Structure 1
């Protein structure tokens, strides 16, 4: 059994984020991308079906889409009952790095839950965070 990641987005965001991941972590052979709506005659349903058919049924698939309930996410929801299939909405670099640097023998539902929590913590309004830190320093 092998674990694959699919980054899927409207436009080329998925490829761009893969480029950033590989800049930070090096080449990733288990990551695949789907960039929707970049060609005039692209059929999203056909693209998703073709991509999903390329993986053995016993492999684990983690699909991370850009927008919850967007057309790309909705195309993958059709596979939610496939064994070993996990769908996440909210494609972002901190989430991906968390998932890829974690021990790969960790159970996937736990890995996803922990990675989502840590990624949420990395999203900051820096002005407010810095103001709070400076205020805390004044209290000492």
Structure 2
């Protein structure tokens, strides 16, 4: 059953995650330019790194605080990461006749995000292993 605590966590986390995504993406794009979707890549990699940390802290069989998990993982990181933007930007690169950039975005995002989630999990398990 979905609780009011979980719903509030998702609501508040989503608002904060959306603002953070916008700010980080704009900052990275301002620094790196628009020839490649660096802002989206940085957001997705940092978000999946954080998700790896959270997964290490909250194993699925022992949720310690459903409201906090909903705030951070479902709300904040769900809104912060930008898989839909990633997909549309990759498609646009391909449609614009830039297949190498499209493939590069696909490969970089997939590899870096999976690697970041794994790294976040591993680092967290080293620092704060669960019993």
Common topology (TM > 0.5): no
- The alignment's TM-score, normalised by the length of structure 1, stands at 0.30
Higher strand share: 1
- The alignment's TM-score, normalised by the length of structure 2, stands at 0.31
**Of the two structures, which has the highest relative contact order with CA contacts closer than 8 Å and spacing of 6 or more?**
2
Larger-gyration structure (1/2) = 1
Higher helix share: 2
